[in-house]
Amino acid sequence: MPASLPPPRRVRARLRRRPAGDNSGRMVWLFDLDNTLHDASHAIFPAINRLMTAYVARVLGCDEATASRVRVDYWQRYGATLLGMIRHHGVDPADFLRAAHEFPALAGMVRVQRGLAAHLRRLPGRKLLVTNAPQDYARAVLDIAGIGHCFERVVAIEQMWVHGHLRPKPDRRMLRRLLVQARVAPHRAVLVEDTVSHLKRYAGTGIRTAWVTGYLRTMAPSRPHDVPGAPTSAQDDSSRRDAAVRSTLEAEEDRRAGHAAQEHSVTLVAAESQVPQAQSGNVPRVRARVPNRPAYVDIKVQSMHQLQRRMRRNGS
């Protein structure tokens, strides 16, 4: 090709997207978004939960209590309400996700750690965002958090179709394909996540795992064993709260026995795991009890600041 010709469009696009910060080093970071880079437990997850329940009620033509039960069932069987809705009701995933992530006041709902952009920029290595959320939402959160420029690519749920099937995290095929596309050997990749069951699922694929615990919250009592309409008047009392947390842990333990993929799901505090809005107004939110680092977790940190300091100290 003559030197005077401009580079092909694809190359120009890649040059334009070169992210800010320290991209040196051999590591490639695959960052989750919600509750990893920002506090989604605060307002966003409860809102997503509400919107999902309303969507299911609309599609099924039922009340919200019934919709909540259906969601619990799908969450337990398939790991996500969406997958059950696709399988049994033929919903359009894009429509579902759009409806579940419509926030007119998103800017006021995003909470980030001070200095987050600087921490990410200083972390050596390439950075990709890999989220089960939709692309528009992910980019909006990144913009609000002021960290969009740190990532060379945003891999959202729309990019997680594999051979005609939607394969969100923690699907191994989806991640393997992503690593091939990004030209990353598995041993150079680090998945940074709050959802420890995802990390467990990817253990054994060769990638490294970092567990971020700082934003983990649970609600007491948690789904799926909460009783709609149960008395809540004494829930501010700390002993009641402790008892509820213990109950949550026990129930999660029971469920874990029947569903290997959801091991340690007491810390899987995603929108899916929170109580329906009908009860959430009266339910105290408490910090999750974080267990010790499981063997399949390579790094356990509370925050991006801690991760950046640790990796720079180790010279990675």
Provide the binding-site residues for Mg ion, judged by CB under 5 A: 32, 34-35, 194
Structure tokens that stand for 21 in this block? 């910060």
**Least distance to Mg ion, CB of residue 268, Å:** 9
In three-state secondary structure terms, 171 is: coil
* DSSP H or E stretch at residue 66: helix 64-78
**Least distance to Mg ion, CB of residue 211, Å:** 11
Closer residue to Mg ion (CB): 32 or 252: 32
> 């120009």: which residue's tokens?
12
Distance CA 254, CA 258 (A): 7
Closer residue to Mg ion (CB): 59 or 119: 119
**Least distance to Mg ion, CB of residue 184, Å:** 21
Q: Which distant-in-sequence residues (6+ apart) come within 8 Å of 126 by Cβ?
A: 19, 23, 27, 28, 29, 152, 182, 184
**Least distance to Mg ion, CB of residue 72, Å:** 20
**Least distance to Mg ion, CB of residue 69, Å:** 25
Closer residue to Mg ion (CB): 51 or 270: 270
Q: Is the dihedral of CA 277, 278, 282, 285 positive or negative?
A: negative
Closer residue to Mg ion (CB): 67 or 174: 174
In three-state secondary structure terms, 128 is: strand
- At 244, the amino acid letter reads A
- At 280, the amino acid letter reads S
Closer residue to Mg ion (CB): 71 or 198: 198
